């Protein structure tokens, strides 16, 4: 029988000071302790210098590539640990917070695991959901991070939501959690790239809400893919009101009229990279120079696979045209 006034066991100092064991601590003690003079110097650093330092702390915050979460992963370190260190910097002072959140929310990654030895410890800790259930089903950490990020941007869309320009999520999250993804995208008006499920590229009915949300809330997207079944959505590009600032476009087995294809490509004045695969309508007629047709954008990269109606003559005619009329 427990006495009513008995003292509880005091926790060890090591447990209270750090949530991680000593051998798994992600930081090292400072070689030189801080002084009053060093604190005063840091307090007067310009905002540009602070942001430069924070970029070194969290390098992936400046990832502006149009690649998926898996393709753009870095092998040089643990991206979740870098993000944690940057969030700790944001808690130092108001000045640091103003500079840190600008860096932190520019390019956001929702990584599923830590890419360091800390993940084994955290995975075991997630199983212990309560004191009575030591072998519970652990929650999906990537989904939990997406929901926390959704709550953050929806609570402050005017300041934090506007900062997000790149959003990268794991494959399983973007394929199975499109509702959470749509609710997050709804408050990110300046988004330039986001990892989207493959079903949306084919106009599958399950992703109709997500597509409408992306079209309405994210007019500044720079990359889009269309596959077989999305011909009607691709035709909307010709209106010039759907994603007019696209820079990278991929077409895979899209069956549309050559004139629709020509009009859609001509409306994308900022297009710089085009990849076409197994699209029979992509022919010399699309690339031909004609005074009665709008000019095509000046491409920096063109990849054509399995397009039997496209010949070298059509490519030569396109490459010989002048593109001085391209505007930015």
Q: Please give the residue that has the higher pLDDT: either 260 or 289.
A: 260
Instruction: Please say if the pLDDT value at position 3 is more than 50.
Output: yes
Rounded to whole angstroms, how far apart are CA atoms 272 and 286?
Answer: 16
Structure tokens at 126: 């997630």
Model pTM score: 0.84
* More confident position, 276 or 322: 276
The sign of the CA dihedral 204, 208, 213, 219 is positive
* pLDDT, position 14: 44
pLDDT at 170: 94
Residue 302 or residue 127, greater confidence: 302
Grouping H, G, I as helix, E, B as strand and the rest as coil, residue 183 is helix
Neighbours of 203 (CB within 10 A): 18
Q: What is the pLDDT of residue 2?
A: 55
Cα–Cα distance, 286 to 279 (Å, whole number): 12
The average pLDDT across 84-98 equals 91
- The pLDDT score that the predictor gives to residue 96 is 92
CA 124 to chain centre: 28
Task: Please tell me the predicted confidence (pLDDT) of residue 293.
Answer: 76
Is the per-residue pLDDT at 133 higher than 90? no
Distance between the two ends of the chain, CA-based, in angstroms? Answer: 79
Above 50 in pLDDT, residue 242?
yes
Helix (H) or strand (E) holding 274: strand 273-277
Q: Quick one: average pLDDT of 79-95?
A: 90
pLDDT at 74: 81
Q: Which one, of 178, 219, 217, lies nearest residue 200 by Cα?
A: 178
pLDDT beyond 60 at 76: yes
* Per-residue buried b or exposed e for 136-173, using 16+ beta carbons within 10 Å of the residue's own CB: eeeebbbbebbbebbebbeeeeeebbebbbbbbbbeeb
CB atoms within 10 A of CB 93: 13
Residue 25 has pLDDT above 70, yes or no: no
Q: What is the mean pLDDT of the chain?
A: 85
Question: How sure is the predictor about 324, in pLDDT bands with cuts at 50, 70 and 90?
Answer: very low
**pLDDT band for position 73 (50/70/90)?**
confident
Q: What is the pLDDT of residue 295?
A: 84
Is it the case that residue 105 has pLDDT exceeding 90?
Answer: yes
> For position 99, what pLDDT does the model report?
93
39-43, 159-163, 179-183, 273-277: least confidently modelled range: 39-43
* Arithmetic mean of pLDDT, 221-236: 94
pLDDT-based confidence at residue 16 (cuts at 50, 70, 90):
very low
* 31 against 94, higher pLDDT: 94
């Amino acid at each position: 029988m427990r006495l009513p006034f008995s003292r509880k066991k005091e926790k060890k100092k090591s447990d209270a000071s750090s949530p991680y064991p000593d051998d798994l601590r992600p930081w090292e003690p400072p070689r030189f302790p801080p002084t009053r003079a060093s604190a005063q110097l840091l307090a007067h650093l310009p905002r540009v210098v602070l942001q430069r330092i924070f970029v070194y702390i969290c390098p992936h915050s400046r990832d502006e590539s149009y690649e998926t979460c898996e393709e753009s992963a870095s092998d040089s370190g643990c991206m979740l640990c870098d993000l944690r260190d940057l969030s700790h910097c944001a808690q130092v002072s108001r000045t640091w917070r103003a500079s840190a959140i600008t860096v932190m929310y520019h390019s956001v990654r929702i990584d599923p695991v830590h890419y360091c030895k800390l993940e084994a410890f955290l995975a075991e800790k997630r199983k212990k959901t309560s004191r009575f259930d030591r072998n519970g089903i652990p929650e999906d950490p990537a989904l939990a991070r997406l929901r926390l990020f959704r709550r953050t941007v929806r609570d402050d869309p005017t300041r934090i939501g506007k900062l997000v320009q790149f959003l990268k999520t794991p494959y399983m999250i973007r394929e199975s959690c499109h509702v959470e993804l749509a609710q997050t995208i709804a408050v990110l008006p300046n988004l330039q790239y986001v990892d989207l499920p493959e079903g949306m590229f084919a106009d599958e009915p399950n992703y109709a809400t997500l597509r409408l949300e992306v079209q309405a809330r994210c007019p500044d997207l720079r990359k889009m893919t269309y596959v077989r079944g999305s011909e009607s959505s691709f035709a909307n590009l010709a209106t010039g009101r759907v994603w007019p600032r696209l820079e990278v476009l991929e077409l895979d087995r899209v069956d549309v009229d050559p004139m629709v294809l020509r009009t859609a490509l001509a409306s994308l004045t900022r297009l710089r990279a085009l990849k076409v695969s197994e699209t029979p309508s992509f022919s010399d007629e699309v690339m031909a120079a004609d005074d009665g047709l709008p000019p095509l954008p000046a491409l920096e990269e063109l990849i054509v696979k399995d397009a039997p109606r496209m010949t070298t003559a059509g490519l030569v005619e396109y490459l010989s045209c002048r593109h001085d009329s391209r505007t930015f």
